[in-house]
Amino acid sequence: MGQAALMDEKLPEITEGFLLGGRVSYAQPRTGYRTGIEPVLLAAGVPAKRGERVLEAGCGAGAGLLCLAARVPGIVGVGIERDPAMAALAHYNFRQSDTLTVETMDLLDLPPAPAFDHVFANPPWHRENSTASPDPGRDRAKRAPADLLEAWIETLLPALRPGGSITLILPAEQFARACGCLEAARAGKITLLPLWPREGIPARLALVAARKGRGGPARVLPGLTLHQGDEFSTAAERILREGAELPM
């Protein structure tokens, strides 16, 4: 779908909000799939530099790319989104940017050309046989076939230039699968950064990163504790409100 077609696509009913403590203005659907903190944390872990090309797979309304561009001005960002209404909303959210664009397509149709320095994604991870969401958009964003994670990694790695980075946010039950698939696709320097809900509570999510064609041992970083009491921790506030980087 071209940019003109995106402009013709009817936007869902939206609410306006802000990310990174107000630095980013962001519209999202009033109902259905709404942004959590995952794309903000994910974007904080992408080691992009000014002028580099970055792909976000399954970008939804564009929160991840918006946060990354706020932290690293001058990146060239492309979002891939298969839902036409969400892609139109991402186009709306990118309207003030000359360097962020969105394409409406299934990620698995992405050409295997090494065009990007970095790719990142928050893949659907609910089991295919799990209870369906009553909202079709939310259901498509969350539920996935059994082999979807492997298919996404196998599609994203060929889109990376040699030495380029892939960064994923995943639930704990998928860590081993992701690492095995990254190694099979000849990505190395695998890094795991756990996201602890609170001190002393097992991590339910983590960032997993690797480099295409690079060797080196896997690493487990100290991780990020998200909450202290009923508030975000000081370290999480630096990421979520101030736009700090998560060194991967």
Residue 121 included in any domain: yes
> What is the phi-psi region of residue 184: left when phi exceeds 0, alpha when psi lies from -120 to 50, beta otherwise?
alpha
The CA distances from residue 153 to 19, 48, 160, 197, in Å, are 28, 19, 11, 26
Which CATH number does the domain housing residue 93 bear? 3.40.50.150
Residue 246 included in any domain: no
Residue 67 included in any domain: yes
How many structural domains is the chain composed of? 1
In this predicted model, what pLDDT tens digit does every residue of 77-107 receive, in sequence order?
999 999 999 999 999 999 999 999 999 999 9
Residue 114 included in any domain: yes
In this predicted model, what pLDDT tens digit does every residue of 126-167 receive, in sequence order?
455 445 545 554 445 444 568 899 999 999 999 999 999 999
Residue 199 included in any domain: no
**Whether pTM exceeds 0.75:** yes
Residue 72 included in any domain: yes
- Output DSSP code: residue 139: H
Q: What is the pLDDT along the chain (248 residues), one digit of tens a residue?
A: 444 344 445 666 888 889 999 999 999 887 766 678 999 999 999 999 999 999 999 999 999 999 999 999 999 999 999 999 999 999 999 999 999 999 999 999 999 999 999 999 999 964 554 455 455 544 454 445 688 999 999 999 999 999 999 999 999 889 999 999 999 999 999 999 999 999 999 999 999 999 999 888 999 999 999 999 999 999 999 999 999 999 88
**CA 109 and chain centroid, separation:** 18
List the domain range (segments joined by +) for residue 125: 3-181
Residue 186 included in any domain: no
